């Protein structure tokens, strides 16, 4: 009787008959009860599987733990390496020009004779750059003396790497000295 009434009524009556609130809330309640029952059964089944297959469960959890640990370790290592590289480039500066005998882009061992034939950069080159370049904050000249033994009174340090540099070195390399001074102006 009710079905016959549905087919003979207009769409408006159909929506009033089947979409009224008590029926809609009843469907939602029924759906939520079914979903909660499925979750409960799945959870109980999972606990049962864990208790019956303890070795498989342990090995699965161990594998997942090791996998997560490895992902975190690799991510940490990559982030640390990236920060280190960025820090190194920040020390160089983004508005600094370097003049060197050896190229930074090539392996110096591969073209050793080519670099050996190039003239050494001298203090005269440094003075010429300071004289000709107009807009600069600092010009630096460094020469590597190499590994030497340093002596002061009764103390000495063997195989110390010695670098002779000008006053502007600390500005270009972002170096903060705790102690010490420059010897003489160039």
Q: Count up the domains in the chain and report the number.
A: 2
* pLDDT score for 9: 47
Residue 170 structural domain: 95-186
Q: What is the pLDDT of residue 59?
A: 92
41 shares its domain with 65 = yes
Buried b (16+ CB within 10 A) or exposed e, 6-36: eeeeeeeeeeeeeeeeeeeeeeeeeeeeeee
The whole-model pTM stands at 0.41
pLDDT < 50 positions in the chain: 1-11, 13-15, 17, 186
Domain termination residue (choose one: 58, 84, 110): 84
Count CB-CB contacts under 10 A for residue 141.
20
* DSSP 8-state code for residue 155: E
Given 56, 84, 112, the domain boundary residue is: 84
């Amino acid at each position: 009787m009710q079905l016959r009434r549905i087919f003979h009524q207009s769409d408006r009556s159909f929506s009033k008959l089947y979409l009224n609130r008590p029926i809609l809330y009843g469907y939602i309640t029924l759906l939520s009860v079914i979903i909660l029952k499925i979750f409960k059964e799945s959870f109980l089944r999972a606990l049962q599987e864990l208790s019956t297959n303890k070795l498989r469960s342990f090995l699965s959890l161990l594998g997942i733990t090791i996998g997560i640990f490895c992902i975190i370790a690799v991510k940490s290592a990559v982030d640390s390496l990236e920060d280190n590289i960025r820090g190194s480039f920040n020390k160089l500066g983004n508005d600094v020009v370097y003049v060197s005998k050896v190229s930074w882009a090539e392996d110096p061992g591969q073209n050793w004779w080519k670099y050996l034939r190039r003239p050494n950069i001298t203090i005269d080159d440094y003075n010429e750059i300071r004289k000709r370049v107009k807009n600069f904050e600092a010009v630096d000249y460094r020469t590597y003396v190499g590994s030497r033994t340093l002596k002061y009174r009764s103390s000495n340090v063997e195989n110390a790497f010695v670098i002779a540099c000008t006053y502007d070195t600390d500005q270009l390399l972002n170096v903060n000295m705790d102690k010490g001074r420059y010897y003489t102006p160039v």
